[in-house]
Amino acid sequence: MDTYAWMVRFAELVSADAERLTRLDSAIGDGDHGSNLDRGMRAAAEALSADLPPGKVLMTAGRTLVSKTGGASGPLYGTALRRAGKALGDASEVGAVELGAALRAALEGVQELGKAEEGDKTMVDALAPAVTAYEAAAGEGLAAAARAALDAAEKGAEATVPLQARKGRASYLGPRSVGHQDPGAASTVLLFRALAETAASS
Amino acid sequence: MDTYAWMVRFAELVSADAERLTRLDSAIGDGDHGSNLDRGMRAAAEALSADLPPGKVLMTAGRTLVSKTGGASGPLYGTALRRAGKALGDASEVGAVELGAALRAALEGVQELGKAEEGDKTMVDALAPAVTAYEAAAGEGLAAAARAALDAAEKGAEATVPLQARKGRASYLGPRSVGHQDPGAASTVLLFRALAETAASS
Amino acid sequence: MKKLIDAVDDVVLDAMRGMAAAHPSLRVDLEQRVIVRSDAPRTGKVGLVSGGGSGHEPLHGGFVGYGMLDAACPGEVFTSPVPDQILAATTAVSGGAGVVHIVKNYTGDVLNFQMAAELAEDEDIEVVPVVIDDDVAVQDSTFTAGRRGTGATVFAEKIAGALAESGGALADVAGVAKEVNERSRSFGVALTACTVPAAGRPTFDLGEDEIELGIGIHGEPGRERVGLRTAIEIVDAALSAIDEDMPLSGSEVLVMVNGMGGTPLMELYGAYAAAEKWLAGHGATISRRLVGNYVTSLEMAGCMISVCRLTPRLTELWDAPVETPGLRWGR
Amino acid sequence: MKKLIDAVDDVVLDAMRGMAAAHPSLRVDLEQRVIVRSDAPRTGKVGLVSGGGSGHEPLHGGFVGYGMLDAACPGEVFTSPVPDQILAATTAVSGGAGVVHIVKNYTGDVLNFQMAAELAEDEDIEVVPVVIDDDVAVQDSTFTAGRRGTGATVFAEKIAGALAESGGALADVAGVAKEVNERSRSFGVALTACTVPAAGRPTFDLGEDEIELGIGIHGEPGRERVGLRTAIEIVDAALSAIDEDMPLSGSEVLVMVNGMGGTPLMELYGAYAAAEKWLAGHGATISRRLVGNYVTSLEMAGCMISVCRLTPRLTELWDAPVETPGLRWGR
Ligand SMILES: Nc1ncnc2c1ncn2[C@@H]1O[C@H](COP(=O)(O)OP(=O)(O)O)[C@@H](O)[C@H]1O
Ligand SMILES: Nc1ncnc2c1ncn2[C@@H]1O[C@H](COP(=O)(O)OP(=O)(O)O)[C@@H](O)[C@H]1O
Ligand SMILES: [Mg+2]
Ligand SMILES: [Mg+2]
Ligand SMILES: [Mg+2]
Ligand SMILES: [Mg+2]
């Protein structure tokens, strides 16, 4: 698994979709999620190089996100990637199983920091089912597992629409947060799309 | 000549046309001429009573305008009416000739205070030709003279459209003041419309 | 029209009620419509009175207090106050040493202050009017109404106020206000129009890609409508117009980057950075400054830049303590 | 979008450049993105640091100075600052007596400050965070992100700043900031939305006859959209919501009628008059107040009312001298 290619592709997808993410955040937040994540991932992509070990790639991306993103998504995405990188350790090759453990660590990091449960209408609603689906399909290999994770992330993000937010800015809207997709869940889909594309082409 | 009826009618006409006057003032001024004159003439109409001598009516209206209107039009209209009232003196009856002298005094008062010449795109452009036309027709009686004055005021006001302003707020616009009617000239038409209507019905 | 108001006809009065409740240091007379320092009149002190249409807050009511104005008379929104008001303010602050009227050069203001001065003279109060006409956007000429009074009004009120506070004589207080006016120039730019409550709709229409250069402070359109520009270009247009009229090279200047009401402070600071760079590049040094909303045009977006060429004496008077709702330092 | 800016991506940096040029009393580090009192660090003095998204000016950078904040870290517009920035501010003001972080309760702010505090502890700087959550428009619950931090931030920064200036210990400075937060409530109303430069269009759409009740300060929609109301009705809605949550009868209060950026001062004074009347009718006495733009939401039109139930000690700390670009008295 080429984590460098994954991160670069994630940065590209975020850049291409930044406006949509910001629009989602305008509806139930403060209208900056796209520009936040784009700023962070641009910096991350610049900080990375292809010759870093896979774990180090994710750790560097995570640290850069924390340093450059701001907002809620900076610490959350940053922690997710740092934890994932840490889980990979110094390994020079990453297989389906190792990546599964890394994704699980990422989810735990996000929940530890943000205290969100599934159903709170946050990125956790895409991340948690994606990780579970990945683990369930890990036996079929990296590409299949990543594909399953993407499907689950997409369904999870879609399922945030009818929810009332209990965490993040959207929670201030109370019942008015219903009917809109959570921007962080939407960007999490991009993380798994990048993963699926990278895994498929490797 | 019933100066009380004249002033009351002027107040009514201003009230009915206040929005149009303000719109004219928005184009080349600061968008308050209608509300200014309406505020002033409301107060003036309230301060007046039908049993005052004709000259006193105009003086009271003028003083009230000065006290309540503000802006450029307050002192200018106020002075015009005060001077006109002064010219009428204590007379209990006002004929065509006396009113002519009063109107001339009003014009002089406005020009003394505001230093505007004909062609500067101000109320003077309606007032001056109206006074001249009145004087020319005074021999035909009050109603005819007032009618002639109204015609001249209307033409004078219309003729301000192509002019570039040299006095008042419109002058700040330079060449951009061209193509709009001067609001003070437009309200001066109402003064003469009120006069013509009052003279016709007396 | 969306405004935080009750009745359209009462906006000025309601604001004065708020000033009265908020500032125990001020005496607000709702009947006469004047805002007066609570310690006025002070025997032997030259009185300093200003006024004009409302909608330029904190000008003028927010500049009443120690070291600045003794009284202000707010007219209706964008409408000069009436002579009765100005007379009431003048008598309220007259301590026997005369009263200076700071008058912005608008026909209405000039005429109403002139009538008030005549009435005051009848009551044996000596009045010296000082007319502020600093706006370079307007071509000056004796055949016209002349230039408008805008941002330099704040400079004149602060500096003349300091001199009056320290016991300056009538001629000197008026003289220093005139000196400030002569050494000051302003130029304003609007990104949006504003809405006079009584009119109910914006004074002018500006397209999404247009701005007005050379606006006044009464919601009146400017001298030229141009395409949207960057802050650096806008600051360049303003300072170039000022510099052309009053060369700045070699001067120590007081600069005000003034918001017209609806532009965030963040943007005004950005414009100030551009102004500082421009002036440094043209040989002028900023030694004093104001960045913020001081002479507004209701909720208009945009800014006005004012520059005063300082002298050591003017700097000293600028630095003197002032304590008003809108400007305060040194106490 | 019409803004007085150059490049959308540089608005915060350009504003900081302007702050740097305009205020010699501040040290502005464009690299680290922090605004620090020029006399920091002062040995033995508890440091007071705040920060948050930009676009709320003068909060927080405008409140750095004598008697208030020691440093501020402005994030991108409406985006929490990053831990590196907060750490830089914390080390810059650390005089060995510990540093208090004033944090507005937003997930992003809380997380970024928390990470910064951990980094600071690594450098042996003791940090005590105080979270401000005064906004009664948000239902409080342990299952949610809780209430937002809004207007009370100004109260906490001023009062804790006064205590820190006079030599208060770490626990006491943090304690008084917490006390202010507990005794304060706010409620905001928007008449228009605002436009984040990077987004390029208004955060939400409001009809010509609609207003938002219970807005935050980040351009986020409020808790309820209702028809246009008068100032008296709006003030009643805000103060009723506050009073319901924290009964005001019998209290001496500090009141802020805060403009969101695009509402003329005139209207804010009108609203203050209405607030004074409302409070008097409900048994509360205003003994201190602010009327103006202190915690803005770019150019949003509207206002926020904040109330703090004073004690003699809080009043004394409020009255203590302060000298910052945004708040100044007593020197
Ligand atoms: N406590 C939390 N746990 C997990 N995710 C969260 C939490 N709070 C917010 N988020 C995520 O962060 C996203 C918003 O990110 P962003 O807009 O960049 O930050 P901010 O809300 O500070 O403006 C939300 O859509 C949500 O998915
Ligand atoms: N110097 C002047 N002489 C004669 N009339 C003038 C002069 N200046 C302005 N006016 C008249 O006053 C009118 C504007 O009145 P108004 O809008 O009420 O006052 P303001 O210009 O102070 O807002 C102009 O349309 C013009 O006719
Ligand atoms: Mg956001
Ligand atoms: Mg007008
Ligand atoms: Mg006017
Ligand atoms: Mg944000």
pLDDT by residue (tens digit) across A106-121? 999 999 999 999 999 9
At the second CATH level, the architecture of C8-183 is 3-Layer(aba) Sandwich (3.40)
**Residue C143 pLDDT greater than 80, yes or no:** no
> Running DSSP on this structure, what letter comes out for residue C308?
E
Q: Which pLDDT score is estimated for B82?
A: 96
- Angle CA D268–D270–D271, to nearest 5: 65
Quick one: tokens of D45? 């003095």
C73 in Cβ contact with C47 (< 8 Å)? no
C-beta A79 within 6 A of ligand 1: no
Residues 6+ apart with CB under 8 A from A39: A68, A69, D76
C-beta A76 within 6 A of ligand 1: yes
**Among candidate residues C228, C136, C135, the one with its CA nearest the CA of residue C190:** C228
Residues C239-265: tens digit of each pLDDT: 999 999 999 999 999 999 999 999 999
Q: Which pLDDT score is estimated for A141?
A: 96
Q: Which pLDDT score is estimated for D140?
A: 74
Cα separation, C165 vs C67, whole angstroms:
5
Cα separation, B28 vs B162, whole angstroms:
13
Distance (Å) from the alpha carbon of A21 to chain D's nearest alpha carbon: 10
Residues C80-135: tens digit of each pLDDT: 999 999 999 999 999 999 999 999 999 999 999 999 999 999 999 999 999 999 99
Residues B88-138: tens digit of each pLDDT: 999 999 999 999 999 999 999 999 999 999 999 999 999 999 999 999 999
**Residue B174 pLDDT greater than 90, yes or no:** no
Between B79 and C205, the more confident residue is B79
Closest residue, chain C, to B37 (C-alpha): C79
Domain locations in chain C? 8-183, 184-310
**Residue D141 pLDDT greater than 90, yes or no:** no
**Among candidate residues D321, D8, D262, D296, the one with its CA nearest the CA of residue D154:** D296
> Running DSSP on this structure, what letter comes out for residue B165?
P
Q: Which pLDDT score is estimated for D221?
A: 79
**Residue C222 pLDDT greater than 90, yes or no:** no
Q: Which pLDDT score is estimated for D138?
A: 87
Quick one: tokens of D320? 């203590």
Choosing among 3.40.50.300, 3.40.50.1100, 1.10.260.40, 3.40.50.10440, the CATH entry for D8-183+318-329 is: 3.40.50.10440
Quick one: tokens of A40? 């962070």
Closest residue, chain C, to D190 (C-alpha): C4
**Residue A39 pLDDT greater than 80, yes or no:** yes
**Residue D63 pLDDT greater than 80, yes or no:** yes
Choosing among 1.25.40.340, 3.90.1150.10, 1.20.1050.10, 3.40.50.300, the CATH entry for A3-200 is: 1.25.40.340
Cα separation, C111 vs D42, whole angstroms:
57
Residues A20-34: tens digit of each pLDDT: 999 999 899 888 999
**Residue C329 pLDDT greater than 80, yes or no:** yes
Q: For the residues A140-148, what does the mean pLDDT come to?
A: 97
D79 in Cβ contact with D220 (< 8 Å)? no
**Residue D284 pLDDT greater than 90, yes or no:** yes
Q: Exactly one of C23, C60, C218, C282 is catalytic; which is it?
A: C218
* Ligand 1 atom 3, closest CA: A114
**Residue D139 pLDDT greater than 90, yes or no:** no
Cα separation, A49 vs D259, whole angstroms:
48
Cα separation, B18 vs B33, whole angstroms:
8
Residues D65-100: tens digit of each pLDDT: 999 999 999 999 999 999 999 999 999 999 999 999
At the second CATH level, the architecture of D184-310 is 2-Layer Sandwich (3.30)
Q: For the residues A152-177, what does the mean pLDDT come to?
A: 94
For chain B, how are helix, strand and coil distributed in percent, rounded to 5? 75, 0, 25
Is C56 tagged catalytic?
A: yes
Q: At D102, give phi and psi (nearest 5°).
A: -95, 115
Q: Which pLDDT score is estimated for C253?
A: 98
Domain locations in chain A? 3-200
CB spacing of D108 vs A66 below 8 angstroms: no
**Residue D237 pLDDT greater than 80, yes or no:** yes
Q: For the residues B50-55, what does the mean pLDDT come to?
A: 96
CB-count burial class (<10 Å; 0-12, 13-18, 19+) for D304? buried
Residues B154-171: tens digit of each pLDDT: 999 999 999 999 999 999
Q: Does B109 touch chain C (CB under 8 A)?
A: no
Q: How confident is the model at residue C220 (pLDDT cuts 50, 70, 90)?
A: confident
C257 in Cβ contact with C289 (< 8 Å)? yes
- How far does residue B168's CA lie from ligand 5's centre (Å)? 10
A110 in Cβ contact with A79 (< 8 Å)? yes
